[in-house]
Amino acid sequence: MADGPNSTGKPRGNLPPLDLHVPEPKFRPGDEVDYSHIPIPEAGKQPRPDENCEAAETWPLCTDLVRVLDGEHRATGPWDPRLDPDTLRRMLRTMAMTRAFDDRLHRAQRQGKTSFYMKCLGEEAVSIASAFALADDDMVFPSYRQQGILIARGYPLSEMCNQIYSNRADKLKGRQLPIMYSSREHSFFTISGNLATQYPQAVGWAMASAIKGDTRIATSFLGEGSSAEGDFHSALTFAAVYNAPVVFNIVNNQWAISSFSGFAGAERTTFAARAIGYGIAGLRVDGNDALAVFAAMQWAANRARSNQGPTLIEHFTYRADAHSTSDDPSAYRSAQEREEWPLGDPVNRLKCHLIALGEWSEEQQADMDREVAEEVKAAAKEAEKNGILGHGLHHPFHTMFEDVFEDLPWHLEEQADQAIRERRTKFPDWKQ
Domains of the chain (ranges plus CATH)? 55-326+338-384 (3.40.50.970), 398-426 (no CATH)
- Helix (H) / strand (E) element for 251: namely strand 246-252
Per-residue pLDDT tens for 261-310? 999 999 999 999 999 999 999 999 999 999 999 999 999 999 999 999 99
Give Dmax (Cα) for the chain.
Answer: 81
Per-residue pLDDT tens for 6-43? 666 676 778 989 999 999 999 999 999 999 999 999 99
Cα radius of gyration (the chain): 24
- Helix (H) / strand (E) element for 141: namely strand 139-141
Would you state the pLDDT for residue 7?
63
Would you state the pLDDT for residue 428?
82
Would you state the pLDDT for residue 393?
85
Estimate the share of the chain in helix, then strand, then coil, as percent rounded to the nearest 5: 40, 10, 50
Q: What gap in Å lies between CA 344 and CA 261, rounded to an integer?
A: 19
Would you state the pLDDT for residue 9?
65
Q: What gap in Å lies between CA 95 and CA 97, rounded to an integer?
A: 5
C-alpha distance from residue 36 to each of 146, 147, 255, 344 (Å): 30, 32, 18, 14
Q: What gap in Å lies between CA 395 and CA 45, rounded to an integer?
A: 55
> Taking the model in full, what pTM does it have?
0.94
C-alpha dihedral sign at 99, 105, 111, 114? negative
CB-CB contact of 197 with 229 (8 Å): no
Once rounded to an integer, what is the mean pLDDT over residues 365-386? 98
Full DSSP string of 341-372: -TT--HHHHHHHHHHHTTS--HHHHHHHHHHH
Per-residue pLDDT tens for 51-110? 999 999 999 999 999 999 999 999 999 999 999 999 999 999 999 999 999 999 999 999
C-alpha dihedral sign at 287, 300, 204, 406? positive
Q: What gap in Å lies between CA 329 and CA 213, rounded to an integer?
A: 47
- Percent of the chain exceeding pLDDT 90 equals 90
Average pLDDT, the chain: 95
User: pLDDT tier at 430 (50, 70, 90 boundaries)?
Assistant: low
Once rounded to an integer, what is the mean pLDDT over residues 397-422? 92
CB-CB contact of 62 with 115 (8 Å): no
Q: Provide the 8-state DSSP code for 188.
A: B
Would you state the pLDDT for residue 217?
98
50: helix, strand or coil: coil
139: helix, strand or coil: strand
